[in-house]
Structure 1
Amino acid sequence: MRTVDVARESGYSVQQVRDLERLGVVPPAARSANGYRSYTPAHVHALRAYRGLAGAVGPVAARRMLTKLRSETLTEAASTISAVHVRLTREREEALRAQQALRAIQAEAHPPEPEQQESDAMTITQLAAALGVRPSTLRFWEQEGLVTPERVTSLRARRYDPSAIGAARIIAALRSTGYGIPQVRDIMASLGRPHGLCEARRILQRRLDQIAERTVALLRAGTDLAAVVTLTEDPPSAG
C-alpha cells in the first residue's frame, strides 16, 4: 500500500501517517528501490487502533502501548488491553462514589454511631489504595487543609472517618478532572452553599461523561487492536 492509500483507509492525512510512523505508532514501512514507502494492512489497523487508544488513555500513553503490544505475546497483549478497561472502570466507580459523598453532604447526613464510624474508618494506606493515589498525596492534601484525618493511638496514626473519606473521594475526582489545589480548596469550601454544590455536581458529572467517552473510544479501537496483536503473533510452526 502507498502512503496515500494508508491515509485514506485510516482517516489520517499523508503527513500524519508519516509523523505517526516516525513516532513509532506503526512499525517502519518497507522501502522500495526508489525510496517510496510500502505499507501493509497491519499499518492501517495500528493507525486506527491509535486513534481509539489516544482517546482512551492519551496520545503519549497510546504510543507507548502500541509499541509494547507489538513485542508481547497474545496473552500478554490481552492482559495489557484488559488493564485499560479495568482502569476506566475503577475511575468510573470512584467518580460515582464521589457523587455519593456529595449527596451525603447535600443531605446533611447525620454522622454514624461511634461503633459504625469505627468500622467504616480507613487508615491512610487503605484510603490511598481505594483512591488509587499514594499515601504521600493524602498527606499533602492534609497539609493543604483539604482533608483532615483523626489522630489515634500513641503513634498518632491517621484514621479517616466516613466524612473525611467522602471529602477525599471528591478531592480525588476534582484533581483527576484537572483542577489545581487552589480551585479544589475553593470548591470544597463552597460545598455548604447551594451554588457550590451545583458546581461540584457539574464537575463530577463532566468527569463521568469524560470517562464514558474514553470507554467508547477504547471500544471503537477493539477490532483494530485485536488485529494488531494477532498480526504481530509469530505464525505457528508446521507439525
Structure 2
Amino acid sequence: MRPIDLAREHGLSAQAVRNYDDAGILPPAERSATGYRRYTPLHAQALRAFLALRAGHGHQRAMEIMRATNRGDPESAYRLIDATHVALLTERGTRAEVATALGALSSTTPTPVPGRPLTVGELARRLGVHPATLRTWETAGILRPARNSATGYREYGPDRVRDAEIARQLRRGGYALRQVARFLESLRQAGGTAALATFLDAWQDRLTTRSRALLAGAARLDAYLTLLQEPNRSD
C-alpha cells in the first residue's frame, strides 16, 4: 500500500502518514526499488491504534506508546498506559470530592455582599475563628487575600469573604484543607455554586468520554499487538 492508501481511511494526507512513519509511530516500512514506501496491513493497524490512542492519551503519549511498542518494549508502553489511567482516576476522585462538597453546603450558601474589604481581624470575628486560621487557609490555597497598596496589609473583598464562609462551613463538616482548596478552586473557575453544578456535569461527561476513548485505544492497540505476534504474518 501507498501512504495515500493508509491516509484515505482516516481523512489524512499522505504527508501526515509519512510524518507518522518518520516519528516511529508506524513500524519500519520497506522501500521499493525507486525509493517509495511500501505499507502493509500491519502498518494500517498501527495507524488505527495510534489515532485511537491519541483520543484518550493525547498526541505525545500516544506517540510514546507506539514507539515503545514498535521497538519491542511493550513493558514501557504498558507503563505509559497505566500512568494515564492513574491520572484519570485521580481526576475522577477530585471531581467526586468537589461534588460531595457542593452537596454538603447548606441551601444558604453565602454570596458576595458588596462592601469595603475586611481586615484579617474583622473577617476572623465575622467567622468566629482565630486570625491564624485565616493565614493557615491562605497557605493551603483556600484564601487569596489582596494587599492594601499603601499598608501592605491583607484585605478580604466580597468574593474572598464568601470563600472564607464556605471554607468555614466545609471545615465544620470535616473536610480536609486540601479538599476545601480543591472545591473553592473549582468554584472560582465555574463562577458560583449554580454554575459549579453545571460545570460538574460537564466534567463528568468529559471523564466518561475519555474513559471510553481509552477503552477504544486499548482495543486497537491489542489488535495491533496480536498482529505483531502472528508467526506467519506478512510484512
Partner of 1:206: 202
Q: Does 1:90 align with 2:103?
A: no
Q: Deviations over 1:148-191 (max 9, x none)?
A: 9xxxxxxxxxxxx516343233256x4xxxxxxxxx6x458x6x
Q: Is the deviation greater in 19-28 or in 31-40? A: 19-28
Partner-residue secondary structure (3-state), 2:141: helix
Partner of 1:60: 60
Q: Does 1:162 align with 2:175?
A: yes
- Judged with a 3 Å threshold, the aligned counterparts in structure 2 of structure 1 residues 235 and 86 are, in CA distance, closer, same or farther, namely farther
Length-normalised TM-score, structure 1: 0.60
Q: Rg larger in 1 or in 2? A: 2
C-alpha contact 2:26 2:70 (8 A) present in aligned 1:
no
Partner of 1:43: 43
Partner of 1:193: none
Partner of 2:215: 219
Length-normalised TM-score, structure 2: 0.61
Q: Deviations over 1:117-138 (max 9, x none)?
A: xxxxxxxxxxxxxxxxxxxxx9
Q: Which consecutive residues of structure 2, in runs of 5 or more, have no partner in the other structure?
A: 110-137, 146-159, 165-173
What is the RMSD of the two structures over their aligned residues, measured on CA atoms?
Answer: 3.5
Structure-to-structure mapping, 1:1-239, within 5 angstroms: 1-74=1-74, 77-107=77-107, 141=141, 144=144, 162=175, 164-170=177-183, 174=186, 186-187=188-189, 196-233=192-229
Matched-pair identity in %: 32
Q: CA deviation at 1:225?
A: 0.4
Q: Which consecutive residues of structure 1, in runs of 5 or more, have no partner in the other structure?
A: 110-137, 149-160, 175-183, 191-195
C-alpha contact 2:142 2:180 (8 A) present in aligned 1:
no
- Number of residue pairs matched by the alignment: 179
Q: CA deviation at 1:108?
A: 6.3
Distance 2:231 2:77 in 1: 16
